Chain A
Amino acid sequence: MKIRIKGLEFSYDSIQALKNVTIDIHESEIVAIVGPNGSGKSTLLKCIDRILKPQKGVILINGKDVKDFSQIEIARTVGYVPQSVKQFFPATVFEVVLMGRRPYLGWRCSRRDIEKVFEVLRILDIENIAMRDFNELSGGQQQKVLIARVLAQEPEILLLDEPTANLDIKHQLEVMEIIRTIVREKGITAIVAIHDLNLASRYADRIIMMKDGKVFAVGYPNEVLTSTNVENVYGVKVKVIELNKSTYIIPLEPLD
């Protein structure tokens, strides 16, 4: 068991975002978390990475309580790619990716750190834009850079918050392919919060469907993505079809 979450509860002031969430995540699998806006997807990811501290519940990574990890240990184990790609200060692509090495940096960055950055850029096929300003890139390129950064962290677990949110369909597929390749080749566990059900269906090994801060359903894509579930959680009437061994959801009309 890579990650074990038990009885997790988190509230923002008075709004309870996570209610008694209990999940198990296995090693080297891609888990997609789906659910409507406000169902707690982002919150869950942030709790795993200790960006947010839950009021109740336990998160175990490799059997060890997350609270017992030091900040650096967590940084070396879990990588987080945020939802918004906004860069606050101008920086080159290289510099952005280099930040991913922070958990390993001593008082100055070593040859190894720099080589690692180049390696990661090569993997994502973006070494040709290494010296370009991050803010001048397209959405697809920016997303790749953020993934490069998290790879430079050499984590065992990847948390991605809506990585395909602002991308066109080509880049959406590219990014998901990259995630799948990384998981398969490096044995990393990936948890992806995603709103596109079809992408989730196609790429995830398992899906967790959330509603109102609670886990609504867990299982293989074709188990979880049923028209009944979707109607219940999203309030939308859908048609489910099987194509090329994958399940696809076609939205029909909203239910009142």
Chain B
Amino acid sequence: MMDTTELLRVKEEYERYVCKKILFIIFTLILIVVVAGISATLGSYPISVSEVYSIILKCLVSHPENTKESIVWNLRMPRILLAIIAGAGLASSGAMTQGILRNPLATPYTLGISSAAGLGAAIAIILSKGIFVGKYVIVGNAFLFSLIPTFVILALARVKGATPETIILAGIAMMYIFSAVTTILMYFAEPEAVKSAYFWMVGDLGKASWEMIPTVLVSLLICFILLMWKTWDVNVMMTAGDEVAKSLGVNPERERIFVMLVSAFLTASIISFTGTIGFICLVAPHICRMVIGGDCRYLLPASALFGGALLLTCDTIARTILAPVILPVGVVTNCLGGPMFLYMLIRRKKEYW
């Protein structure tokens, strides 16, 4: 029965297979650095490329002293960092949500989170007459509201069982309900408020500042680690189904809820600052999956890095393509997302479900 050469060949093939995944992850890391480097040099204020880099190096140790340095360090850098963090967070929660729901089209938004956050922000914007509301009212409200669907789905799952079907249906119901309430609210509001609320929902990184970076960064790191912890279990649930997962020592319902909660929290904490940026949570994991397969242990970090690079690219395009007019990044991701999906559809080789 033993054929040594055959076995050796297969082992080699396996090593190469794993290597490919690791190389891809390294590639995406380099990609982020490159895109960030390019993005930092772009903007309406005239600053030469070498100046930009020397300013960055300088500001790592001291404070910006003049306008040029301030623009690079206080205006461009936070925006770049926010794009990377937000992209990473959205892609990560997208990848894991797709895993636990066994559906490559699932996203945290499918759980109703974006509609709820939109409602929270709209309420804060429309009910506040002036613009100088407390700094964090819109952010806080969006965040609080975005967690509501999660708890509703939790409750439903308790009654009906935490199967992918239950969660997806419940999530879509939440989406519709919150959208409906938002629509009613906007219908009766004055155009000025409606405009503001709409802008919020499209997704925009324009408010980035160093102040918010620690919050989103900590959120990303904690949630990412929690998600990585569960990648084995999600792998099992994904490839083998709930019944076999149980026989392998995994509690699919409990893990599904855990991952859902973490993903929801991560998504909520990002979109309450940036608005609902679409497609990254769908496209980034999908592309990574096409290159390195569905193993969550590699897919999660790859998606995170690729998502960061992708969002950063989109945002850079958004703020430079029609300069000095700034497009909200949500517009670019939506425009890119559709055609990208068609392309992937045409090129796909494997049946997904």
Q: Interface on A for B, CB 8 Å cutoff? A: 46, 49-51, 71-72, 74-76, 78-80, 82, 86-92, 94-96, 99-100, 102-103, 105, 107-108, 114, 118, 121-123, 125, 127-128, 130-131, 133, 135, 149, 153, 159
Contacts and interface: CB of A to CB of B under 8 A. Distances in A.
Contacts of A128: 6, 10
13 contacts: A71-B246, A71-B251, A82-B243, A88-B102, A88-B238, A88-B241, A95-B293, A99-B244, A102-B250, A107-B229, A122-B1, A135-B350, A153-B248
B6 to A, nearest CB: 6
Contact of A82 (B99, B241, B295): B241
A88 B249 contact: no
B352 A99 contact: no
Contacts of B295: 91, 95
Contact of A125 (B1, B17, B229, B297): B1
A131 B247 contact: no
B351 interface: yes
Interface string B1-18: 111001100110110010
Contact of B249 (A71, A86, A89, A91): A71
B268 to A, nearest CB: 26
A133 B351 CA distance: 11
Nearest to B16: A131
A86 B294 CA distance: 16
Top 7 closest A-B pairs, CB basis?
A75-B249, A80-B247, A102-B248, A103-B249, A90-B350, A72-B249, A91-B239
A99 B14 contact: no
B188 interface: no
B199 interface: no
Given A94-B14, A130-B10, A99 B249 contact: no
A130 B9 CA distance: 10
Nearest to B297: A108
Contacts of B2: 122
A115 B241 CA distance: 25
B288 to A, nearest CB: 13
Contacts of A114: 14
B83 to A, nearest CB: 29
Interface residues of B, number: 38
A131 B249 contact: no
With a 10 A CB-CB cut-off, give which of B99, B236, B247 has the most chain A CB atoms: B247
Interface string B78-93: 0000000000000000
Contact of A100 (B246, B248, B294, B352): B248
A193 to B, nearest CB: 14
A119 to B, nearest CB: 10
A46 B1 CA distance: 33
Interface string B222-250: 00000001001101101111011011111
B239 A96 contact: yes
A49 B239 contact: no
Contacts of A102: 232-233, 236, 248-250
Contacts of B236: 99, 102
B353 interface: yes
A118 B11 contact: yes
Contacts of A87: 239
B243 A135 contact: no
Given A96-B240, A121-B10, 18 more contacts: A49-B247, A51-B243, A51-B246, A87-B239, A88-B241, A90-B351, A94-B14, A95-B235, A102-B248, A108-B297, A122-B7, A127-B3, A127-B6, A127-B7, A127-B10, A128-B10, A135-B351, A153-B248
A91 B294 CA distance: 7
B14 A89 contact: no
A89 B350 CA distance: 10
Contacts of B352: 89-90
A80 B1 CA distance: 25
A78 B17 contact: no
Given A46-B243, A99-B239, A123-B1, A118 B248 contact: no
B241 A86 contact: yes
B247 A78 contact: yes
B243 A89 contact: no
A183 B247 CA distance: 20
Given A46-B243, A130-B10, A130-B14, A92 B293 contact: yes
